[in-house]
A and B are shown apart, each in its own frame.
Chain A
Amino acid sequence: MAASTFTRGALLSAAAGAGALVLAGAAASRAPAIAGEATHAGMKGHGGGADGPTFRQGGVVDHRANGFNPTEILRDFDWGTTRRLGNGRTLREWTVVAADKDIEVAPGVVYPAWTYNGRVPGPTLRCREGESLRVRFVNGSAHPHTMHFHGFHTAEMDGVAGIGAGLIQPGKSTVYEFDADPFGLHLYHCHAGPLAEHIARGMYGAFIIDPRKGRAEADEMVMVMNGFNTNFDAQGNQIYAVNTIAFHHVNEPVRVARGELIRVYLVNILEYDPINSFHVHGNFFDYFPTGTRLEPSEFTDTVMLGQGQRGILEMRFRTPGLHMFHAHKTEFAELGWMGDFEVVG
């Protein structure tokens, strides 16, 4: 009979359809693990993140393409060229060129930076107390810039808009002249507006004036604490580092000798965050704020600096092996501002 045929047929086809759907769903959901996925979680139930923060494994920034390597910047001091002046003083000169450059700040992440001499941070300009200094600044960038130094100088040499040479337009140049005074660790940066952006984009560098009698022999290095706001929302940075490349000194630890005096010229130029800090593991240092006095103000393992603050750290490592150093603002450390000293001997 047609009615019961329909019923049986309907029931059977409904059952078959439902069964097929369930089987299909089960097959789809039992999809095999993606080939090539090497998760560490299988080995440690807590997850690899318990080991500490890291960029994606297997990727490293291309330093050659960037044109600079933080390991080289660490111990690179630009003494410029010198000339004896008639009155017996030394004239020290540099040429610094502003250039726009895309740099890889993290493996796979490109940032459109504005640089001094094609590197971030810019060259570490070093001189001696009392010398006559002359910095020729050439603007090879597409934007107006200046060089503003932290140190004693006249208002016309201040490197701000509207005074002296003012803003240096693209293609133009100027010369900043002043005496090396006071001795200590200072910095320079662009002072064109909008100021936060000009600084954040990479236009800064260390400026060291050695005391007349010099300092004790030491393994000296420059660490400029900086960061990058890669999404340009000015609400903090996505990447934090010392000398630009995040986690660099985890991959390439800073090699130092056990027992040797180490002198770190530490500058904080981090934009968009109010403070930064420096902390070293398993060791303590004498801290000379701004380096303008020869007596340390503190013996500690952690210092906090606002933007523009800087200081000299002197320490000797007592034990060999890897000693971590990082910002003791954990967010910055986990977003890149951490590294290792490798103490040998």
Chain B
Amino acid sequence: MGEERRGLGRLPLWALGLIPLVLIVVALGALLTVGGDTMGDRRGPPVEDIAVERTVLRPGEIELTLRNVGPEAAKVAQVAVNDAYVDFSADGGEIGPRGSRRLTLDYPWQEGSPLLMTLLTSTGATIEHEVAVAVETPSRDGDLYGLMALLGIYVGVIPVALGMLFLPFVKRVREHWVRWFMALTVGLLGFLAVDAYLEGTEIGEASTGAFGGLQLLFIGAVVAFFALVWLDRFLRGRSERAEGTGTSAFRVSLLIAIGIGLHNLGEGLAIGAAYAIGNLALGAFLVFGFALHNTTEGLAIVAPLAKERRPSLVRLVALGLIAGAPAILGAFIGASIYNPELATLLIGFGIGAIVQVIVQIVPAMRDGAGRALTPATIGGILAGVAVMYATGLLIIA
């Protein structure tokens, strides 16, 4: 027997949801159109805040991508380079809030010299943008892609594959050594996470902030973390349905590989971007440094496979590519369409993925009594940090 409904109780459910929604839309619309008038105008001169998102240097011209990060529309009326007004063309006039504009300046810049650009807006405000050293931006052609692919292979794919060659060694070694290697892996990954965090904050803070800036680092980390958690549950469910218990060790390795792959995406991005602005000498030492640094990642991937039957060669190759190949993609992106906020997001992905992977590995570090942190494993973690730090010093970039 139902109770007799009175008043609002008589309305169906959908009405209870829809009516407030309609009222909200009406109220917000009224505020937007009329409410502003009741408050009066903002005091003071126009707030103009334009940032330069990207600079591309070609012979005889400078291309700037501008982003309006202020609350009001703004227009760049004239541009001076090194205290001389220059002719320029633009793909539009006034820039709306969050809008972007591309300016191409006609200027005979010299390789290796600094450039100071002054944008003069229609109200006379000036926005300055400096290029410390003018270097021609690599053109996006087959040569660049070939070079970035090679770079990605040298610093991503090959080192990971080499690190994975430790698998037979890890398989034969005794149980408590396996736990030590897992701890070593945790140390390696922890270092990577902190390193990526530091780099991500540097890039995020230097960005224009139009799309959140540093916020994207945390958003990326959270998204990647939970995406991997979901993936883990999904794979666990699938293998449980298929085989009962599921090959959990391979799943851990897979997740580690994905996490490292996302991290390497960020690393490739950094390398490609640095190359594009001439900040990078693609010398043997650089490649050597990165390669040594990244072989430890290969070890991290195979460590969980110690006590399982050896996975097929195809699976091992897949793991290696999943972890290493994203460096190629990262290098492409970094060299061609680099955007600091995009980089921040991708680095955030890497961090979140690595943290999730560490969470995955910790259970495998537990000894018979259920403790993860024994003197041995603590030593392993510290050894991992030390190895990454030492090999990181070799990267003269």
Interface residues of A (CB under 8 A from B): 2-4, 6-8, 10-11, 14, 18, 21-22, 25-26, 28-30, 34-41, 44-50, 53-57, 105-111, 228, 230-232, 238, 246-247, 331, 334-336
Give CA–CA (A41, B61) in the complex, Å: 6
B interface residues, how many (CB within 8 angstroms):
52
Closest A residue to B145 by CB, please name it: A26
The residues of A that contact B107 with a CB separation of less than 8 Å are 47-49
| Main secondary structure on B side of the interface with A | mixed
The listed residue with most B CB atoms (<10 A of its CB), out of A35, A47, A57, is A47
Instruction: Please tell me if the beta carbons of A47 and B59 are within 8 angstroms of each other in the complex.
Output: yes
The residues of A that contact B121 with a CB separation of less than 8 Å are 109
Query: B109 contacts which of A18, A47, A246 (Cβ < 8 Å)?
Result: A47
* Chain B proximity of A33: nearest CB distance (Å): 9
The residues of A that contact B143 with a CB separation of less than 8 Å are none
Instruction: Please tell me if the beta carbons of B145 and A47 are within 8 angstroms of each other in the complex.
Output: no
The residues of B that contact A8 with a CB separation of less than 8 Å are 314
**7 further A-B pairs in the complex, CB-CB below 8 A; given A35-B91, A110-B122, A331-B83:** A7-B318, A14-B318, A34-B91, A49-B60, A334-B80, A335-B83, A335-B84
Instruction: Please tell me if the beta carbons of B329 and A37 are within 8 angstroms of each other in the complex.
Output: no
Instruction: Please tell me if the beta carbons of A334 and B84 are within 8 angstroms of each other in the complex.
Output: yes
Interface residues of B (CB under 8 A from A): 58-61, 75, 77-81, 83-91, 102, 104, 106-109, 118, 120-126, 140, 145, 238-239, 242-243, 247, 312, 314-315, 318, 321-322, 325, 329, 332-333, 336-337
Query: A46 contacts which of B60, B78, B90 (Cβ < 8 Å)?
Result: B60
The residues of B that contact A106 with a CB separation of less than 8 Å are 77-78, 120
Instruction: Please tell me if the beta carbons of A108 and B61 are within 8 angstroms of each other in the complex.
Output: no
Closest B residue to A49 by CB, please name it: B107
Give CA–CA (A2, B235) in the complex, Å: 12
Instruction: Please tell me if the beta carbons of A238 and B91 are within 8 angstroms of each other in the complex.
Output: no
Instruction: Please tell me if the beta carbons of B77 and A22 are within 8 angstroms of each other in the complex.
Output: no
Give CA–CA (A36, B118) in the complex, Å: 23
Instruction: Please tell me if the beta carbons of B85 and A30 are within 8 angstroms of each other in the complex.
Output: no
The residues of B that contact A335 with a CB separation of less than 8 Å are 80, 83-85
Give CA–CA (A40, B86) in the complex, Å: 11
Instruction: Please tell me if the beta carbons of A34 and B124 are within 8 angstroms of each other in the complex.
Output: no
Instruction: Please tell me if the beta carbons of A108 and B122 are within 8 angstroms of each other in the complex.
Output: yes
The residues of B that contact A35 with a CB separation of less than 8 Å are 91
6 tightest CB-CB pairs across the interface, nearest first? A230-B124, A47-B60, A108-B77, A334-B84, A48-B106, A41-B60
Give CA–CA (A231, B123) in the complex, Å: 8
Closest B residue to A107 by CB, please name it: B77
**Can you spell out 24 A-B residue pairs with CB atoms less than 8 angstroms apart?**
A2-B239, A22-B329, A25-B333, A26-B145, A30-B140, A38-B89, A41-B58, A45-B60, A48-B106, A49-B108, A53-B84, A54-B87, A55-B85, A57-B87, A105-B124, A107-B78, A108-B77, A108-B78, A110-B123, A230-B126, A238-B120, A334-B83, A335-B84, A335-B85
Instruction: Please tell me if the beta carbons of B78 and A55 are within 8 angstroms of each other in the complex.
Output: yes
Query: A3 contacts which of B75, B145, B243 (Cβ < 8 Å)?
Result: B243
Instruction: Please tell me if the beta carbons of A6 and B238 are within 8 angstroms of each other in the complex.
Output: yes
Instruction: Please tell me if the beta carbons of B60 and A336 are within 8 angstroms of each other in the complex.
Output: no
The residues of B that contact A49 with a CB separation of less than 8 Å are 60, 81, 84, 86-87, 106-108
Give CA–CA (A47, B86) in the complex, Å: 10
Instruction: Please tell me if the beta carbons of A56 and B87 are within 8 angstroms of each other in the complex.
Output: yes
With A54-B85, A106-B78 already in contact, the answer to whether A7 and B91 are too (CB < 8 A) is no
Give CA–CA (A107, B122) in the complex, Å: 9
* Chain A proximity of B308: nearest CB distance (Å): 12
The residues of A that contact B321 with a CB separation of less than 8 Å are 14
Instruction: Please tell me if the beta carbons of B126 and A48 are within 8 angstroms of each other in the complex.
Output: no
Closest A residue to B318 by CB, please name it: A11
Query: A231 contacts which of B91, B124, B242 (Cβ < 8 Å)?
Result: B124
Give CA–CA (A336, B120) in the complex, Å: 13
Closest A residue to B58 by CB, please name it: A41
Instruction: Please tell me if the beta carbons of A238 and B118 are within 8 angstroms of each other in the complex.
Output: yes
Closest B residue to A53 by CB, please name it: B84
The residues of B that contact A55 with a CB separation of less than 8 Å are 78, 85, 87
